[in-house]
A = this chain, B = another copy of it.
């Protein structure tokens, strides 16, 4: 199999490196594919060596040639303002697709950087495109990913333009909780992979405000925080503050068809 471009080193583990046996396959791109199709997809996917914390998966402006799925760890995507400030546009957890918004560009429109040690599956876009020509289900799944991201973005706009600091933080925590749950982790106790600074950046708040809201929530017995460890004590009230109904809270995962 001639690879177009040897970008990063490829591991060659046997078990971990097949979609077929990956515990995330029911959340990820293979979601709606049959076994045979998964096998085809598998063949074009490269598993790269883990990214260390702070390393870039790609940078805004890098030539676009691959999309990625997170296997473990987490990423932040961000764009740069003209005066050099960064604006985080998304955090990505395992099973989520990264880089799709560059699809019709020659270069990535955002940068993506590891928040911790992170492994990804690398999918050369040209191959994915060829394959999706043959597999309608794969195509459908890609459309799903894209339109899901758009819907999430609209919710983010709502958050940024209408919600106050407490509502923003509550929404953020509820969303993370739902995403962890989908992946089989506890929705009540988890570790934040990002700093307060990054949370503030993402939510359009100053770090200090995030910090204060955390302490306020802690005082009101809604959450218990210890550094990056978060325990949700009163989920009901958290959702209420977030302005989310029970069912909205369930759809916190990215890249999941309806």
Contacts and interface: CB of A to CB of B under 8 A. Distances in A.
A36 interface: no
A115 to B, nearest CB: 18
Query: How many copies, total?
Result: 2
A230 interface: no
Contacts of A158: 79, 81, 87, 89
A204 B153 contact: no
A245 B156 CA distance: 25
Contact of A100 (B85, B147, B155): B147
B153 A104 contact: no
B104 A161 contact: no
Contact of A154 (B85, B101, B144, B203): B101
A100 B150 CA distance: 9
A66 to B, nearest CB: 15
Given A81-B158, A150-B146, A153-B157, A258 B136 contact: no
A102 B101 CA distance: 17
A244 B83 CA distance: 10
Contacts of A140: 104
A45 interface: no
A12 interface: no
B151 A150 contact: no
Interface in A66-99: 79, 81-83, 85, 87, 89
Contact of A243 (B83, B133, B147): B83
Nearest to A147: B103
Given A87-B162, A245-B82, A101 B258 contact: no
A82 B244 contact: yes
A143 interface: yes
Interface stretch (A21-29, A105-113, A189-197, A214-222): A105-113
Contacts of A38: none
A158 B90 CA distance: 12
A85 to B, nearest CB: 7
Interface of A: 79, 81-83, 85, 87, 89, 100-106, 109-110, 133, 136, 139-140, 142-144, 146-151, 153-158, 160-162, 201-204, 243-245, 257-258
